[in-house]
């Protein structure tokens, strides 16, 4: 199973994405977070394999949160190149 953390400041998006991913047989949504600081805390405790991160969020944006997560948990794989998704701002 691939452990996934979903991070988005919009509750509807966060919940919807988590529900869709939860239907996949090989994915386990281990947590959700509403901002970058929550994502960092979740990564420390939940140790996800993949973090699906919104880039534009209050408190701490996804870019800075990703940088801090990479420093604190280098075992979480990085994509080989920047990726974009369907998130809205």
User: Would you list the domain boundaries of the chain?
Assistant: 2-72
Q: Which CATH superfamily is domain 2-72 in?
A: Response regulator (3.40.50.2300)
Cite the DSSP H helix spans in 1-89.
11-22, 36-46, 62-72
Q: Angle CA(56)–CA(37)–CA(88) in degrees, nearest 5?
A: 20
- Structure tokens, 71: 């420093």
User: Per residue in 30-76, pLDDT tens?
Assistant: 999 999 999 999 999 999 989 999 999 999 999 999 999 988 877 76
pTM value > 0.95: no
Stretch 6-13: mean pLDDT: 97
């Amino acid at each position: 199973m691939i452990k996934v953390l979903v991070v988005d400041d919009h509750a509807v998006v966060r919940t919807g994405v988590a529900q869709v991913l939860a239907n996949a047989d090989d994915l386990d949504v281990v947590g959700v977070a509403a901002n970058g600081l929550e994502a960092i805390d979740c990564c420390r405790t939940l140790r996800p394999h993949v973090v699906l991160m919104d880039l534009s969020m209050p408190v701490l944006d996804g870019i800075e949160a990703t940088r801090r997560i990479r420093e604190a948990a280098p075992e979480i794989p990085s994509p080989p190149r920047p990726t974009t998704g369907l998130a809205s701002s």
